[in-house]
Amino acid sequence: MVVFGSSIQECCNNPNCFPYFLDDCLSFIEKSGINTEWIFYQEASNEVDVMRLRETIERSNKTNRCVFSDKEDPHTVATVVKSFFQELAEPIIPFSHYRQFTTCQLSVISFFPLMTSLPKANGVVLKRLVIFFNKLSTNHEANHMTPYNLSCTIANDLLRDQTPNPADFDHIADIFDFIISNAKEIFAGFPEPTPPLISAKPAHRSSDYPKTKGVEPVKIQSNDSKPSANTSKIEV
């Protein structure tokens, strides 16, 4: 199964699930990268590490978990997460919803019905992602990533028209600044992600993947195993 360049529905096994690989990437950043300076703004410095992680995710076949080394660079994981959303066949907020989102009043009461109108898989993934960004932004004194900085970095990958208009980019950043800042209120009562209903497959061996000096390969863990925008206006 192809992950990068596919649809969000293809990465979820049912409309209420959350892709394992994406959950593992976000959980790793929450644990090991939440204080990393300029996380999501600064690209990974080693393209080999990025390609290694992408290959690992592609090989996971949706059925296994990624187990990260303590030496993994959070910027590498964040770069791969951004790439996933950049390369989706259709953004997490579908083209059909673009006008509703860009003309919506910036208020919790206005955004809630828009979120519930999204396809279930899209809504569940967007909720997890936005609440993750909200949590990341609470550490902005250490990582410099305020809700606005995060929105400038990734908003145009999450909400875009079929023919993107650069004149809309600042407004889209403002929209996601508001959504990230008010994530818990906007998504209150929204469905939580549930584990995919799939059969576990044997884990890939870590030796199957190319190594980069000083970084251990990301391991794939089968489900039956025990757990082991544009950035021109970034605020400084």
Percentage of residues of the chain with pLDDT beyond 90: 55
Whole-number pLDDT of residue 104: 93
Whole-number pLDDT of residue 229: 47
Cα distances from 102 to residues 25, 46, 50, 121, 159, in angstroms, run 29, 36, 32, 21, 9
Q: What is the pLDDT of residues 104-128, one digit of tens each?
A: 999 999 999 999 999 988 998 999 9
pTM exceeds cut of 0.95: no
More confident residue, 133 or 223: 133
Going by pLDDT thresholds of 50, 70 and 90, the confidence category of residue 171 is: very high
Q: What is the pLDDT of residues 130-164, one digit of tens each?
A: 999 999 999 999 999 999 999 999 999 999 999 98
Angle at 236 between CA 125 and CA 43, to 5 degrees: 50
Residue 219, SS3? strand
pLDDT surpassing 80 at residue 44: yes
- The strand ranges marked E within 100-184 are none
Question: For residue 160, what are its two tokens?
Answer: 């875009």
pLDDT surpassing 70 at residue 213: no
